[in-house]
Amino acid sequence: MTIENLSCNKSFDGWHKQYSHYSETLNCSMRFAIYLPPQTSSGGKVPALYWLSGLTCTDENFMQKGGAQRIAAELGMAIIAPDTSPRGDEVADDDGYDLGKGAGFYVNASQAPWNRHYRMYDYVLNELPQLIEAMFPVSDKRAIAGHSMGGHGALVIALRNPERYRSVSAFSPISNPVNCPWGKKAFSAYLGKNTDSWASYDASLLMRQTDAKVPALVDQGEADDFLVEQLKPEMLEAAARANDYPLELHGRDGYDHSYYFIASFIEQHLRFHARHLGL
């Protein structure tokens, strides 16, 4: 494995670093950011939180705006933030912000031209943690979280792979993508017109049927402009009730879809994950 360090910034006695590497899964160069807390300086390995960002974002948005480093440094938790899609001149794209580059939706595309590069599900689940655990003082104790499209990705990946994650959390996730405009557009392009194939990437449908239950925390701003049409947290809540799933869902009065919302409650999310990671 070859990785290139792009930047390095000290933060709360730990280090925020940005790297690029060639992804065999995505057939292109990818970028990710990692925060290594001060506890790694002693040579020990720390647990990791993988953060998945939303539409139009990169690895930089959460690391610069989320305000997570102070608490991660206190807890001794690494944070890894991949990009939201493959990139490069050869990668298929769309004129809309909600499909193509910046909008990978954390699925494995099966339809041309997307299937050559858009396999973010496999990248986040397999290739990226293998690289992180081989190259950095990070253990295989993992949690996963995300925002909006990334909240959808985090929930789906944890629900489908409960043996890989100790906990999952999300801010404003796209909870029922098979029934919202963002999801229908992306899934039609990436997965095809047969809607039966969409169900395995829908958190509400997965939560309703799963037997293995990863503890989940979800925060939703009640002043979110996307709440009714796109996010549909009530579908996730109904699925949890139907299956007695350990979901803690909070509606936050007055909060919107922005990073002001995420920064306001990120400490609660990190402490939630810390409990399940044994910190």
Active site residues per annotation: 148, 224, 257
Q: Cα(100)–Cα(79) distance, rounded to whole angstroms?
A: 25
Q: What are phi and psi of 17, to 5 degrees?
A: -130, 150
| The one-letter amino acid at 131 | L
Alpha carbon distance 141, 277 (integer Å): 6
Query: Cis before residue 113, ω within 30 degrees of 0?
Result: yes
Q: Are 33 and 72 in contact (CB under 8 A)?
A: no
Q: Is 254 exposed, middle or buried (0-12, 13-18, 19+ CB in 10 A)?
A: exposed
